[in-house]
Amino acid sequence: MSKTAHRIFIFGMALIVIGTITFLFYLGFSYYQISLEERFFDPSNTLLKPSGTLGHGFGIFGSLFMILGILLYMARKRFRSLSRLGNLKYWLEFHIFLCTLGPILVLFHTSFKFGGIVAISFWSMVAVFLSGIVGRFIYIQIPRSIEGRELSLNEVRNMKSDIGEIIRNSYQLEEESYNTIVTSIGNKPELNHGNIFVRTIRKYFDDIKTIRLVKHVLKKNKLPKSEIHKVVGLVQNDISINRKIERLVTMQKLFNYWHVAHLPFALVMLIIMVIHVAVTIVFGYKWIF
């Protein structure tokens, strides 16, 4: 998939999610605001209540989207026969799309009123959704190949270029300017605070300071804007790889811990969802069939 096609793919999924939320709120905003007792007399009740024509459908399609999103992504990860069907990261993005749209529909299926055992499933779903956002953040911090395969530490280190040598051979800089740039992008032990959050914040602001310093040095040497842009790009890439190397082991550990929290909530949600569906069928609740 080309970059343009990928952007259209992401934009399309985001548009569907935003459009769905907007439409459903527009459709039943006044209904969802009134109390449970008053809803019985509202004209929209037959459509939007959990067992209503639309409300019931929201629950069915929301559940199907979540189950489909989970099964498709698990199948793509576990079965080698599916490894040629697109990059894993595209499947992950589609998994996130379905498992975002699904909970939204389920939320409207409840008409924002829920209790009993179903509430456990609902809050488990919320926990899965929120932990999925955290997992996505951790996932993108781990360097990966274009196919979505996790890179090893050595593979990430091999991505680094000798930026000092490139600058020395390609640009006529004063020795002092050259040393300033190389020193600024080097490892700085004073930033290695014990607390990971403090360390991250310190290095974030140091990276900004480094970019500004490099630009200042290059302008001082009267390099053309196009060349300054190239050098700054090299420096930014070098900084990015350095940070990925620093975070790799930590993020891999966090990702393993994340699975421990994410999967149980997903299982609880699915089990209670199955029980809920079975009970509704036993009691004779039908949709439009």
Instruction: Please state, in angstroms and rounded to a whole number, the distance separating the CA atoms of residues 56 and 108.
Output: 9
Q: How many residues does the structure list for the chain?
A: 289
Provide the percentage of residues in the chain whose pLDDT is more than 70: 79
Give 170-186 as a DSSP string: HS---HHHHHHHHHHTS
In the 8-state DSSP scheme, what is residue 82?
G
In the 8-state DSSP scheme, what is residue 160?
-
Whether pLDDT at 19 is above 90: yes
Predicted local distance difference test score (pLDDT) of residue 146: 47
Q: Is the whole model's pTM more than 0.75, yes or no?
A: no
Which residue is it, tokens 């975070």? 247
Q: Of the candidates 239, 180, 228, 248, which has an alpha carbon nearest to the alpha carbon of residue 206?
A: 239
95 CB neighbour count, 10 Å cutoff: 22
Mean pLDDT of 81-101: 82
Tens of pLDDT along 82-91?
A: 777 777 778 8
Q: Are 132 and 259 in contact (CB under 8 A)?
A: no
User: Chain-wide mean pLDDT for the chain?
Assistant: 78
Question: Which of 148-152, 198-202, 211-215 is modeled with the greatest confidence?
Answer: 211-215
